[in-house]
Structure 1
């Protein structure tokens, strides 16, 4: 046996890992759930010149949509653009049949913003990153 660490894993070998866990899960989950592909998507906010000034990167599977990140340029903040991005992501997730949205945010970021939009804290990761707290939030669609 040989153990190898790489910071540039080949896509084909990453697929081997995905197929392997799907095969294992199929012994416990329905085939449809075990082999469900990721639904990756993004929502962008662009200014009048077409430049991206914010957006959401998301991934969805197993009836959950995961907002991986939400970012707004400083000039786009305070204009309800963040709320519009969230609503667009939620609408897309719901139209695809997903029932929940979850995300994480740092204590220095957007916890009150998400809570105002109906998200509830279900967990905290203290000292992640060091000196800060990460909040895990969820919302039923």
Structure 2
């Protein structure tokens, strides 16, 4: 291929993610000599309906635990369930050999929750609406 066409789109499907993610993963694997990325989720299930109602998801890779998404329905907040989910997520990261963890949240979401659980803020970037920012945190495991 001598030239390339650039396309800007908001339609990113599983195929596109596999092409981009797969290419990056192969590049990383070639560079370090192995690939150890694995998805990770700690799920919260309603015991009556057996429906998944929340939890945390992310991945482990190259000694780092990535916490990508974390949600609990309002009715389950303030009961210690979030602390249990986070603890199990971190524990599995340690079991997989991760030495550190990283997450980002929004200032109106849960930065204080993470700080209470030993996470350290290492960056903030303003975003919309005005006065709001993304908060980046890490934790040594």
Tell me the TM-score normalised to structure 1 length.
0.82
Q: CA deviation at 1:41?
A: 1.7
Aligned residues of 1:54 and 1:76 also touching (Cα < 8 A): no
Cross-structure match for 1:114: 114
Q: 4+ runs of 1 displaced by more than 6 Å? A: none
In structure 1, C-alpha distance between the alignment counterparts of 2:110 and 2:27, rounded to whole Å: 37
Cross-structure match for 2:67: 67
Provide structure 1 residue ranges, at least 5 long, that are not aligned to the other structure: none
The DSSP-based 3-state class of the residue aligned with 2:67 is strand
Q: CA deviation at 1:16?
A: 4.4
The DSSP-based 3-state class of the residue aligned with 1:3 is coil
The DSSP-based 3-state class of the residue aligned with 1:65 is strand
| Correspondences of 1:42-121 after superposition (within 5 Å) | 42-49=41-48, 50-121=50-121
Quickly say closer, same or farther: Cα 1:25–1:101, change in 2 above 3 A.
closer
Cross-structure match for 2:5: 2
Equivalenced residue count is 135
Aligned residues of 2:58 and 2:69 also touching (Cα < 8 A): yes
Tell me the TM-score normalised to structure 2 length.
0.82
Q: CA deviation at 1:19?
A: 5.0
Quickly say closer, same or farther: Cα 1:17–1:116, change in 2 above 3 A.
same
The DSSP-based 3-state class of the residue aligned with 2:41 is strand
In structure 2, C-alpha distance between the alignment counterparts of 1:83 and 1:5, rounded to whole Å: 40
Quickly say closer, same or farther: Cα 1:61–1:46, change in 2 above 3 A.
same
